[in-house]
Amino acid sequence: QIKETMEKTTVKLPSKSLKSNAKDMFFITFGIFLYAVGYCAYTLPEKLVMGGVAGASALIYYATNIPAGTSVLALNILMLVIAMSALTKQFFWRTIVGVGILSFMISVLQPFFATFPIMTPGEDKFMHVLIAGVLCGAGLGIVFSHNGSTGGTDILTMLLNKYFRLSFGRAMQFVDCIIISSSYILFHSMETIIYGIVFTITATVTCDYIVNGTRQTVQFLIISKKHKEIADVINHRVHRGVTVVDGKGWYSQNDVKMLIVLTRKYESQDVFNLINEIDPDALVSQTFCHGVFGEGFDKIK
């Protein structure tokens, strides 16, 4: 009886459609292409060193002239073999696909940009560092937004987190700092380390903006005697839902109605203007959210 009941109540989760998987694959490939362009057109010619496997591969290339695409593939395979027992099946195969595309694109684009350069190394190095950081960060942001992975230090980070109880953020910082600092052994230059840090910060900020920028939402808590009028106008003019919650003012001991409204960031000024038109004395609290998922917002992936 228990088994029959469980079978009846089990919910079958829908699998991702072929169209959805194809869309993710397209954007993952496009994101990796952007990353590879920034890496091959700006990073390698300027002899920059960033964190991750790409940074380690760049160091190997500067020291031995071994193509960066070959090093990226070899280092990722080595880490996947070492960490195989600690990785989930989904992460393993997703990483294999990402690493394969990245290695192929770097192997093609590195000789292409060596033959047809789009900038002169050393001409404006700081600007080239910023451009490389934006391209690489945007590429990674697109990849992460569509459930992709390029391997790299993600694998080492998972191992450090599992065996040494380091947080993912600290583990990643630890690995990246070691790789960037090791460039001093090859170049004997603090300037190279500084440029590597600037690149990493630029890429991180750009990646975060791509991943979270489109998801920025605002939550309003509104207390007003004219809550009905405000709720109606938000429904009909901003086209956002409103939730009414019963509350009580502790000082006055009066019952109040509190409105909860979720909007996109760009819609927040419209909400303020409408509230001001109806009740300038309304109490309004605004909170920024990294993301809201559900009807009218982002889909849960």
DSSP count for the chain of H helices, then E strands: 12, 4
Token digits of residue 101 = 């595309």
pLDDT tens per residue, range 156-202: 666 666 666 655 556 667 778 888 999 899 888 899 999 999 998 89
Residue range 206-235: mean pLDDT, rounded:
86
pLDDT tens per residue, range 113-126: 999 998 888 788 99
Token digits of residue 166 = 């380091």
Q: Does pLDDT of 98 surpass 90? A: no
Name the residue with higher pLDDT: 260 or 6.
260
Quote the DSSP letter at residue 213.
G
The DSSP secondary structure of 195-206, one letter per residue, reads: HHHHHHHHHHHH
Q: Does pLDDT of 278 surpass 90? A: yes
Residue range 259-267: mean pLDDT, rounded:
87
pLDDT band at 30 (very low <50, low <70, confident <90, very high): very high
Q: What is the pLDDT of residue 211?
A: 74
Q: Does pLDDT of 99 surpass 80? A: yes
Residue range 37-45: mean pLDDT, rounded:
94
Nearby residues of 32 by Cβ (< 8 Å), 6 or more positions away: 98, 101, 102, 105, 139, 143, 148, 150
Nearby residues of 285 by Cβ (< 8 Å), 6 or more positions away: 220, 221, 222
